[in-house]
Amino acid sequence: MTETSFLYGAHVHANGIRQHYLRYGGQGAPLVLVPGITSPAVTWGFVAERLAATHDVYVLDVRGRGLSETGPDLDYDLDSYADDVRGLIDALGLEGCVVLGHSMGARIAIRLARRDARGIASLVLVDPPVSGPGRRAYPAKLDWYVDSIRAARRGMDAEAMRRFCPTWTEEQLRLRAEWLHTCDELATRVTFEKFHTEDIHQDLPHLTPPALLMVATRGGVILPEDEEEIRGLLPKIQLARVPDAGHMIPWDNLDGFCAAVDGFLGAA
């Protein structure tokens, strides 16, 4: 984190729970970044620093992750997640904001915009799992998440994390090893199951903000036939395929990720 981009971390009570976020930049239109299933906000710092060149960036610790509230008494479904983001936006008084979601976060952004798009200027949907009832399964395996969370809970270093994320840099591995234990196993299990039982396709025709679908060219999450279906449901959606990138797009090709975001937001 650089002194010029990272401003602070804070908590806010919104949608009935404690939510934690990190703020970067402070200038420009607000951008709310919603990470994936086991990505605490701090692990997105290197991405937020780049986005903060043009936006006031808020990176959320989704419930059950990082420093936000967790526990078996909470619900871990799309409606609850979406209401959390709506509560955060309202509590912070953000207007005209970009909602950028990765993976699980992109599914949350879709449900949020379907339920209540007030104050949302645009959506950036980064490689959302397109699994759902009667659909192709999400290609990642639950054991990968559970095994790595349990190892982090016992304590692990960057080298031990490399077994799970072999292409990442030392800094990226260190941060994940340090923070992965804050991802609740129950929240992860429930969310992974709901990747296959909750349907985001029903939401797509109802989205009104301009939207970008960003696809990892070697991620295997969104296939050409999925792109075609999504375009059929939301014809105005824009598409960006990021080369040389797996599902964790910025970790593989940060420049390509930022170019896709900048190109869409600049045009919008």
Per-residue pLDDT reduced to its tens digit, 171-186:
999 999 999 999 999 9
Residue 93 within any structural domain of the chain: yes
- For residues 105 and 98, what is the distance between their CA atoms, to the nearest angstrom? 13
* Domain at 22, CATH number: 3.40.50.1820
Single-letter amino acid code for the residue at 65:
R
The token pair that represents 38 in the structure block = 């086991």
Residue 38 within any structural domain of the chain: yes
Residue 98 within any structural domain of the chain: yes
Convert the pLDDT of each residue in 237-261 to its tens digit: 999 999 999 999 999 999 999 999 9
In this prediction, residues 147-165 reach a mean pLDDT of 97
In this prediction, residues 157-170 reach a mean pLDDT of 96
Residue 205 exposed, middle or buried by CB count within 10 Å (0-12, 13-18, 19+) = exposed
Convert the pLDDT of each residue in 73-118 to its tens digit: 999 999 999 999 999 999 999 999 999 999 999 999 999 999 999 9
The answer, yes or no, to whether residue 3 has pLDDT greater than 70, is no
- For residues 120 and 109, what is the distance between their CA atoms, to the nearest angstrom? 10
Confidence (pLDDT) at 156: 96
Residue 78's CB is within 10 A of a number of other CB atoms, namely: 23
Cα 17 to Cα 40, 66, 255, distances in angstroms = 17, 14, 35
Residue 190 within any structural domain of the chain: no
Q: pLDDT-based confidence at 146, cuts 50/70/90? A: very high
Residue 186 within any structural domain of the chain: no
196 neighbors 138 (Cβ within 8 angstroms): yes
Q: pLDDT-based confidence at 267, cuts 50/70/90? A: confident
Confidence (pLDDT) at 45: 96
Backbone angles phi, psi at 240, to 5 degrees: -135, 125
From 119, 108, 192, 207, select the one nearest 149 (Cα to Cα).
192
Q: Kindly calculate the radius of gyration of the chain based on its CA atoms and give it in whole angstroms.
A: 17
Number of domains into which the chain is organized: 1
The token pair that represents 238 in the structure block = 């824009």
The token pair that represents 218 in the structure block = 């070697």
Domain around 97: 6-137+198-266
Residue 215 within any structural domain of the chain: yes
- For residues 213 and 110, what is the distance between their CA atoms, to the nearest angstrom? 11
